Structure 1
Amino acid sequence: MKRAYRCSLTFLALLCMIKVCELCSSVKASRATKFVAEGSRLQLSCEVLHCGLPGWTGGWVFQELDRAGFTSLTPSKRIEMSNYTSTANGTHLFLRIHNLNQTDAGAYKCLIYWPDSVTSSGHVTYVNVTAAAVDSPGRSLSHRVLLCLGSLMCFPVVLGFVWCLTRNHRLPPPPVPPRTSFAAGVKPKKELVYAEVTLSDSRRQNDHPKQASEPTVYSSVHFS
């Protein structure tokens, strides 16, 4: 029993050592696909897990589109490579490419060489370089100025339109009730009209020229 127990412990220790060795000689990176506009900047990173062991070398490699095999990247005016040791067990490798063009499209990954002639590579990042934007910074600035001027010119027009709408939609004043007078409700009184009719005889006037005849007055006539 004791011998079997010792064998199991030894086997577990070997597994742990193998696991530690695998972790201490690997590259940690994520597989991704990026679309970057032409003329912009590309930034990639990976982590080398070395557990503080010296003697490892390597860096970034690149494979062009429709071509086989990776080639090592070297620093230049557009290509910038750096590393940063975050912990005692790992180091981050950074890649920055400025002013991208169509020749930068392809696959990128980290390739590390260990002292025991073992190589480790991280996951591949595929980069697609898209066409640059048509609008330049100068045009965008001019467009902004034109938009501001157009907004300022349209502001008085909008104010006038709103004023006209509010003016036309005002409520009309209430109607004035007709004025009634007391005299309009009183019926007019009936007026009395008198007529005087005088009859004269021409023959009698000739017989008695000097005698004036008395006028005959009739009763008044009423009209309703």
Structure 2
Amino acid sequence: MMKSAYRCSLTFLAFLCVITVCEPCPSIRASRASKFVAEGSSLRLSCEVQHCGVPGWTGGWDFQEINSTGFTRLTPSERIELSNYSSTANSTHLLVDIHNINQTDAGAYKCGVTWPENLLTSNGHVTNVKVTAAAVESSGRNLSHRVLLCLSATMCFPFVLGLVWCLTRDHPPPPPVPPRSYTSFSPKYEVKSKKELVYAEVALNSSRRQNDCPTQVAEQTVYSSVHFS
């Protein structure tokens, strides 16, 4: 059991040594890929050069058109930008940025390096670029936006209902006003009788017989008269 574990550990250490010591150097790391780019947009391609600190090497990007049979080295222009940066002391990344892409940019791209010893060259994997028609911007919302809007409205509807319920629960509606009775009268509305002053004239005669010619008196304003005979 111990011997098998010891052998496994030795195998693992040997594998690490092979990776660190026997790593191909110098070399180029670039993945094979196909890209679809809309016309008028931009494109960036990158590859990693493992130069292991060897000075004097030169590198760049090569391009082959669709109907062409050979690669040509790209040069900087108004639309093509070439750059590089060192990630470690032993590797450098080569970049190419193409702006405002058109149909003439469709084809194969690869990075190539020329080493100072014996003028050897190394090439990375090829990236095929296909240029599609420019995307037409729709004036209205597309289907995905409409679906997202409907889902958002559906999710917000229960929240709004809960909020309305909470607000109405704390503030109950006022009690209804009882109908007013027109048959009962309040004491403050009692009708008070108005005292009136009554004037009366009383005439007394000495005899029970009524005089034929009563003495005429000046006419007065009589409100009421009472005669006793």
TM-score normalised over the length of structure 2: 0.51
Alignment of structure 1 residues 27-176 onto 2, 5 Å: 27-116=28-117, 117-135=119-137, 140=139, 143=140
1:20 offset after TM fit, Å? 5.8
**1:100, 1:68 → 2: CA distance?**
22
- What is the RMSD of the two structures over their aligned residues, measured on CA atoms? 2.6
Identity of aligned pairs, percent? 69
Find the residue that maps to 1:123 and give its secondary structure.
coil
Summarize the Cα distance change of 1:21–1:52 in structure 2 as closer, same or farther, 3 Å threshold: farther
**Matched length:** 126
Find the residue that maps to 1:23 and give its secondary structure.
coil
1:115-164 CA distances to partner (integer Å, 9 max, x unpaired)? 121000000000000011122xxx64xx36xx99xx9xxxxxxxxxxxxx
Find the residue that maps to 2:97 and give its secondary structure.
strand
Aligned partner letter, 1:73: L
**1:94, 1:52 → 2: CA distance?**
19
1:23 offset after TM fit, Å? 2.1
Summarize the Cα distance change of 1:71–1:22 in structure 2 as closer, same or farther, 3 Å threshold: farther
1:21 offset after TM fit, Å? 8.1
1:25 offset after TM fit, Å? 1.7
1:40-77 CA distances to partner (integer Å, 9 max, x unpaired)? 01110000000011010120000000211100001111
Find the residue that maps to 1:112 and give its secondary structure.
strand
- The structure with more helix, counted as a fraction of residues: 1
Aligned partner letter, 1:45: S
User: Is the aligned partner of 1:25 residue 2:51?
Assistant: no
**1:46, 1:97 → 2: CA distance?**
15
**1:93, 1:129 → 2: CA distance?**
22
Summarize the Cα distance change of 1:133–1:48 in structure 2 as closer, same or farther, 3 Å threshold: same
**2:36, 2:58 → 1: CA distance?**
30
TM-score normalised over the length of structure 1: 0.52
**1:20, 1:111 → 2: CA distance?**
24
Find the residue that maps to 2:56 and give its secondary structure.
coil
Summarize the Cα distance change of 1:114–1:20 in structure 2 as closer, same or farther, 3 Å threshold: farther
